[in-house]
Chain A
Amino acid sequence: MIETVKLSKIFKGKKAVDEIDLYIDEGESIGLLGPNGAGKSTTISMISTLLKPTSGDVKLNGKSTIKNPGEIRRILGVVPQEIALYEELTAYENLKFFGEIYHVKKNILEQRTQEVLEMVGLKKRQKELVKTFSGGMKRRVNIAAALLHQPKVLILDEPTVGIDPQSRNHILETVRKLNEEYGTTVLYTSHYMEEVEQLCKRVYIMDHGKVVAAGSKEELLSILSSEDMIQVTLSETSERVVEKVKAINNIRRVDVTDKSLRIISKKGSSILSDLVHAVESEAIHLTNFQMEKPSLEDVFLHITGRTLRD
């Protein structure tokens, strides 16, 4: 349906997006995961024709959208990262306005407005000014405004940044419902891996403008299939104990958080006795030991050497 071909964008000599190739099939739910500044927003701005690529192409059903953006714009619903609403108007007035500019027919606009308000859980507060809403409620209206014209493809650019858990859950549930029940194709960007894990069947991981990994969740997690994740809690930590643990054979990485050590070791290697010995030699007690399933965060860490929130 939509694909990008060696898509690049250079801002003042710096490559924000570097020859990325991705494709989205109809009805799919795709995640674009990466830390801030990875190039996710620039990529979706180019896909949605708001930004012209420096090189490369965006194709809709095999046809380039760069010279003729009208076709892709008709099927797109874009939820920008910022609150793109008139805060001095009510939620209802905002939706009416966006419905009108999208040429939603007058006789169905009222019904559509009520439907999307219901979908984002703001039907009862539709007559209130947007400026009086909480951050989460504003983000829900922001999403509703992109749904009025019933887009086939919904692009969401970090729609849950800085909001309360209740609104976040509501947004995630809305997106899931749109994809699973209404068959809307979803391209979801975020730096929260839990959201992408929860919503998306396929994930592109971006860093420094490049796609560093891509595939289904299972495929990505299999990158770490040769490794074990171990979470160890100690009575206290010190630099010496960390150094001793790092020196154990088959341990590939050790990250320290508070009184815990997150250890990545070669799969199937028996490090437990060496670990206990290293810890106790420093007169420290091992209070908890847990094997963990790897997450996309671990995949990102494995590929880039840093966390998504770095």
Chain B
Amino acid sequence: MFPLMKAQFKKDIRSPWLVILLTIGSILFTFIFTDLHEQTETTVPIFSSEPNSREVEEKWEPLLNANQDYDFVITDELEAQTDVEDGKSEAAIRLSESDYQIIAASNTQAVQLVEDYVHSVFTKEAQLQAASGTGNVDTTREKVNGYLEEAPFQMQTESIEGGEVPEYNMQLQLLFGFTLFLAMFTIGFKVNAVTSDKVSGVWDRMILSPVSKTGMYAGHLFYSFMIGFMQIVIVLAIFNYVMDYDLGHNFGMILTVAAVFTLSMVSLAMLFTGFIKTPEQFNMIFPSVMPIVPVISGVYMPPGLISHPVLSFVADLFPLVHAIEALMDIAIFDAGWLEITMPLVLMLLIGVICMGVGVNLIERRTK
């Protein structure tokens, strides 16, 4: 097992670029995509086509911007429409005195969320208008706000542990997502060395040597695990200790989840190896299938957006979705071992099944 690992390591020392590029890629992708995510989420252009457009816009702009999740910006009508057409903005709002119109290129989930929010603002304003009658709306608003501050029924939101409900951190999700996603490639390409050895004849030479088959597989798989895990550790450590990202208080638990994820990914790559005949086939099929995994796992989107049962089922068959769930629970919600037991068990289960089937397929073909 150790001579085999040493040989693989020497090969990688000679050409370390795959691991280096994928590690740098994890860091770059996280930076680029978290930045894009921040930009596209918030800005919604608003305008009015009424004769008193300036008055209407100035009335609604502060009311709409009461929510910190959106940034409603007064924009020229033509510019707002062009932004929507070009995809720079998901939606724009045409404002009237007491009504609005959503302008969108397509009815996406993001547009729906904007509409829900705008609708609630206009409904509330209409209610205040009705309650004021001929009186001043602002006075009524102040009265309502004052009353709500000391309302007879106070509603307080708390986390399960009794503390403040933590805010979901999309940046962190993308960091974990890209780190694990790119590590999947490193792991896959390393496991592919089993097929390379089989095709080159080195595998047969090892079979004739005193090294056991278990030792041969263990050498390759443990090495693939080590390289994949090291890549994840390096990226997460850089973000935690150098870039000052808040990965929670338990970095050790995060690394444990990463280790279990790496283990199950090694097994998944072995399953792929069981179906293919040459390293070239693996290099073609594995990178074609893997990019779909984070998409159906909802890694690039806020939680809850992937609701299709078939997609969710398929995503559950891969370890990525379980790893992200566990990592986010640890980093954001300070989850303990008990809370992350289920994702860990599922990843291990995937690992055991894929390894069993994969090794059997490889051995069956040899016979």
Which residues on A are within 8 Å of B, measured CB to CB?
A: 48-50, 52, 73-74, 76, 78, 80-86, 88-89, 93, 97-98, 100-103, 129, 145-146
Contact = CB atoms under 8 A, between A and B. Distances in A.
A93 to B, nearest CB: 6
Interface of B: 3-4, 6-7, 10-11, 14-15, 200-202, 204-211, 367
Contacts of A52: 367
7 contacts: A48-B208, A73-B209, A84-B205, A89-B10, A89-B14, A97-B3, A101-B206
Given A86-B7, A86-B11, A88-B14, A101 B201 contact: no
A97 B6 contact: yes
Given A89-B11, A101-B4, A83 B200 contact: yes
A102 B206 CA distance: 8
Contact of A101 (B14, B15, B209): B209
B208 A93 contact: no
A52 B207 CA distance: 13
A42 B209 CA distance: 19
A93 B201 contact: no
A90 B367 CA distance: 32
Quick one: which of A48, A74, A80 has the most chain B CB within 10 A? A80
Contacts of A86: 7, 11, 200, 202
B235 to A, nearest CB: 26
Contact of A89 (B7, B200, B206, B367): B7
A86 B9 CA distance: 12
A82 B210 CA distance: 21
A48 B209 CA distance: 11
A299 to B, nearest CB: 31
B210 A103 contact: yes
B10 A50 contact: no
A84 B201 contact: yes
Nearest to A72: B208
Contacts of B11: 86, 88-89
B209 A50 contact: no
Contact of B204 (A50, A97, A101, A102): A50
Given A76-B208, A78-B204, A84-B205, 17 more contacts: A48-B208, A50-B207, A73-B208, A78-B205, A83-B200, A83-B201, A84-B200, A84-B201, A84-B202, A86-B11, A86-B200, A89-B10, A100-B3, A101-B205, A101-B206, A101-B210, A145-B205
Nearest to B219: A101
Nearest to A129: B14
Given A88-B15, A89-B11, A50 B208 contact: yes
